[in-house]
Amino acid sequence: MPEVPNPRQLAAWRAFLEAHAAVTAVLERELQERDLSLAWYDVLLQLSEAPGGRLRMGDLARSVLLSKSGLTRLCDRMESAGLVRREPIDDDARGLVAAITKTGRSTLRRAAPLHLKGVQTHFSRHLSEQEARTLTTALRRIAEAARGS
């Protein structure tokens, strides 16, 4: 196993960084038209898919790829905006759940078509089915290994 990446591998790494920067920038810009960011959208999405529309703060933090303190502050802002609500947990007074509100659900419903179209336009559209499969398996492998580090 070589110690360092060869030029073709470095090209893949560079393309990965550039694609991420470019695509997330466009999607952020598009979501701003709905007064959302990618992070806010992601919180609403994860909550909407969770049973009861609720997730523990710590679990939600991991789902949306944020630190715990980062999620605390994000929830502060989203709670002020009326999109989520914090609730105590019955069997553990240390913990809290974030719950999506009615307003949160309708905000997500209104934003989803725009955002999904954005993902389609700026990402998926440029991938063949075969390429999408390759990306998924390869990038999952990478993410899992990196998380273990």
Is residue 63 a contact residue for DNA (CB under 7 A)?
Answer: no
Decide whether 87 or 131 has the Cβ nearer to DNA.
Answer: 87
User: Three-state SS for 82?
Assistant: coil
Is residue 93 a contact residue for DNA (CB under 7 A)?
Answer: yes
User: Three-state SS for 50?
Assistant: coil
Q: Of 25, 58, 68, 106, which one interacts with a second copy (CB under 8 A)?
A: 25
Decide whether 2 or 148 has the Cβ nearer to DNA.
Answer: 148
**Taking contact as CB under 8 A, which single stretch among the options 20-28, 50-58, 82-90, 95-103 is the one that binds a second copy?**
20-28
Report d(CA 63, CA 99) in Å as an integer. 14
**Taking contact as CB under 7 A, which single stretch among the options 4-12, 46-54, 58-66, 116-124 is the one that binds DNA?**
58-66
Q: Binding string, 94-123, against DNA, x = CB under 7 A?
A: xxxx--------------------------
What are the E-state strand segments in 16-135? Answer: 54-56, 84-88, 96-100
Is residue 26 a contact residue for a second copy (CB under 8 A)?
Answer: yes
| # residues near DNA by CB under 7 A | 25
Is residue 32 a contact residue for a second copy (CB under 8 A)?
Answer: no
User: If we measure between CA atoms, which residue out of 123, 105, 104, 117 comes closest to residue 30?
Assistant: 117
Report d(CA 41, CA 47) in Å as an integer. 10
Is residue 20 a contact residue for a second copy (CB under 8 A)?
Answer: yes
Task: Judge contact between 111 and 31, C-beta under 8 A.
Answer: yes
For 92: left if phi > 0, alpha if psi spans -120 to 50, otherwise beta; the answer is beta
